[in-house]
């Protein structure tokens, strides 16, 4: 394999991971937009999504209609999106919105607490929840070659799905009435309210979308690694938040770019740097810190002058 091939192969792997990170980052950015809150529990909705899919799958198996893989996959995604979305809205009402006006440290700690609660609830409620849980192989296995690069069907499907979700979210935000409400609230909540936007409903919908998209990422992650575990949310939360910030907090395209960048950083660090494989995230986080110092508004954020 030439160096160029290696680069290409890594790019493809990086894009794969990156698209999952993007989906998580979108939630961070959306919530920050409408509520000015960083929801540190968001990573746990990613995890929750994968477990919801497992539950739905076992129901399907028990009912004996797990045969048609194509339909089952769709059922898993849609079902998990709905369930996770509902939990997302419920937690938003119970504990995220009540602290959105509080000092930043309070909202931070409350959402961290929420993350713990979700994680632990999953661990306790799911049978033998402390162990890693295998994910069913439902996507087509095998691979094809493109030159000397290997592309697995499964990865291609996951990647394609990620793109589709991003397009749908983009459509929802930019082309629908609901989306324009979300954008209006993100601009200026009070002004939006005076223009007749139902603030509470808009916030609910934002959390519904955010959690559902995180659930998609969680299931994709499950298929990709073939397993899931109750505690994968914390790290994913930090990665999603990082990606959202690299891209420019509050900007959806920024979140997508940031997620992909983070994925690429990780895979290249693993491939190129000495001791890269185990320390790839150290490198990625280092870049994040540098970003925060030298370009705190992110790639797509615009320069703001602090008003006095």
Partner 1 sequence: MADENQRSQTGPLKTVTVLGIEVVIYALFLALLLMPGGEILIVEVLLLLAALFYLRRNPALRTQIQELFAANARAAWIGGIAMMLLVPFFVASSPYWLFIIIIAGLFLVACLGLNLQLGSTGMVNLAPAAFYAVGAYTAGLLALGWGLPAWITLPAGAIMAGLFSAFLFIPVLKTTGHYLALVTLAFQFMVTILLDNMEWTGGPQGLKNIPLFSIAGYSFNTDINLGFIVLPAYANFYYLMLLIVAAVGIASLRIYNSWVGVTLSTIRDDEIAAQTFGVQVNRWKLIIFSLGNCFIGLAGAFYSHLVGFISPPNFAFDKSLVMVSVVILGGMDNVFGVVLGSLLLIILPEKLRVVQEYRFLIYGVVLIVMLIFRPRGLLPFKPRDFSDLVEAAKRKRAIPAGSEAAEGRA
Partner 2 sequence: MENNRIFWTKDLSISFGGLVAVDHVNIDIARGEVLGLIGPNGSGKTTIFNIITGIYTPTDGDFFFEGESLLGKPPYEIARKGIARTFQISRLCLDLSVLDNVFIGMHYRQKHWLIDAVFRRDLLAREVSEARDRAFSLLSVFNKELVGLAGVPVGALPQIDRRRVEICRAMAMEPRLLLLDEPSAGMTLEEMTELMEDIRKVQEESKEISIIIVEHDMTVIRSISDRVVALNYGRKIAEGTCEEVSHNTEVREAYLGKRGIKI
Structure tokens at 306: 């602090």
Q: Which is nearer to ligand ATP, 105 or 304 (CB)?
A: 304
Four-point Cα dihedral 78, 79, 83, 86, nearest 10: 40
Cβ 91 vs Cβ 203: under 8 Å = no
Please, where are the H alpha helices in the chain? 3-35, 42-63, 69-91, 104-125, 153-175, 177-187, 189-194, 199-225, 233-247, 252-272, 276-294
Return the one option of partner 2, partner 1, ligand ATP, none that residue 62 interacts with (CB less than 5 to 8 A, by type): none
Site for partner 2 in 267-306 (CB under 8 A): 303, 305
Return the one option of partner 2, partner 1, ligand ATP, none that residue 195 interacts with (CB less than 5 to 8 A, by type): none
Task: State the pairing for strand pair 133-134/149-152.
Answer: unpaired
Q: How many residues does the chain have?
A: 308
3 touches partner 2 by CB under 8 A:
no
Q: x/- contact string, 248-287, with ligand ATP (CB under 6 A)?
A: ----------------------------------------
303 touches ligand ATP by CB under 6 A:
no
Structure tokens at 185: 């609230």
Question: How far apart (Å, rounded) are the C-alpha atoms in residues 213 and 43?
Answer: 11
Q: Site for ligand ATP (CB under 6 A): which residue of 128, 177, 303, 307?
A: 307
CA 120-124-127 angle, to 5 degrees, is: 135
Q: Which is nearer to partner 1, 160 or 296 (CB)?
A: 296
CB 185, min distance to ligand ATP, A? 22
78 touches partner 1 by CB under 8 A:
no
Cβ 26 vs Cβ 255: under 8 Å = yes
Cβ 251 vs Cβ 243: under 8 Å = no
Q: Site for partner 1 (CB under 8 A): which residue of 157, 234, 271, 299?
A: 234
DSSP state of 98: G
Return the one option of partner 1, partner 2, ligand ATP, none that residue 98 interacts with (CB less than 5 to 8 A, by type): partner 1
Cβ 169 vs Cβ 252: under 8 Å = yes
Question: How far apart (Å, rounded) are the C-alpha atoms in residues 255 and 249?
Answer: 7
Cβ 15 vs Cβ 268: under 8 Å = no
Q: Which of 98, 75, 45, 73 is nearest to 211 (CA)?
A: 45
Q: Which of 159, 154, 158, 150 is nearest to 141 (CA)?
A: 154
Site for partner 1 in 103-122 (CB under 8 A): 103-106, 108-110, 112-117, 119-121
CB 304, min distance to ligand ATP, A? 7
Q: x/- contact string, 191-220, with partner 1 (CB under 8 A)?
A: ------------------------------
225 touches partner 1 by CB under 8 A:
no
Q: Site for partner 2 (CB under 8 A): which residue of 62, 105, 194, 308?
A: 308
Return the one option of partner 1, partner 2, ligand ATP, none that residue 303 interacts with (CB less than 5 to 8 A, by type): partner 2
Residue ranges binding partner 1 (CB under 8 A):
38, 95, 98-99, 102-106, 108-110, 112-117, 119-121, 124, 234-235, 238, 241-242, 245, 249, 275, 278-279, 281-282, 285-286, 288-289, 292-293, 296, 308
Residue ranges binding partner 2 (CB under 8 A):
303, 305, 308
């Amino acid at each position: 394999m030439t160096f160029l091939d290696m680069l290409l192969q890594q790019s493809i792997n990086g894009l794969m991971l990156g698209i999952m990170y993007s989906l998580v980052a979108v939630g961070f950015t959306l919530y920050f937009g409408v509520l000015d809150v960083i929801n540190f529990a968001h990573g746990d909705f990613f995890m929750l999504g994968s477990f919801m899919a497992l539950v739905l799958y076992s129901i399907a198996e028990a009912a004996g209609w797990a045969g048609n893989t194509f339909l089952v996959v769709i059922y898993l995604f849609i079902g998990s999106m709905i369930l996770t979305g509902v939990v997302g809205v419920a937690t938003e009402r119970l504990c995220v919105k009540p602290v959105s006006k509080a000092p930043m440290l309070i909202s931070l700690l409350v959402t961290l607490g929420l993350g713990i609660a979700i994680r632990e609830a999953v661990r306790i409620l799911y049978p033998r929840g402390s162990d890693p849980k295998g994910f069913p192989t439902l996507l087509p296995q095998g691979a094809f070659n493109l030159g000397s690069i290997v592309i697995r069907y499964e990865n291609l499907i996951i990647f394609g799905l990620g793109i589709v979700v991003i397009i749908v979210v983009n459509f929802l935000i930019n082309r629908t009435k609901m989306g324009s409400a979300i954008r209006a609230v993100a601009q200026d909540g009070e002004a939006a309210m005076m223009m007749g936007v139902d603030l509470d409903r808009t916030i609910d919908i934002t959390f519904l979308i955010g959690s559902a998209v995180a659930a998609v990422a969680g299931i994709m992650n499950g298929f990709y690694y073939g397993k899931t575990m109750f505690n994968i949310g914390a790290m994913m939360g930090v990665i999603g938040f990082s990606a959202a910030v690299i891209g420019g907090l509050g900007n959806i395209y920024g979140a997508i770019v940031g997620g992909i960048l983070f994925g690429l950083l990780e895979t290249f660090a693993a491939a190129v740097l000495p001791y890269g494989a185990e320390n790839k995230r150290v490198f990625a986080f280092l870049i994040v810190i540098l970003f925060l110092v030298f370009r705190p508004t992110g790639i797509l954020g615009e320069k703001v002058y602090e008003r006095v």
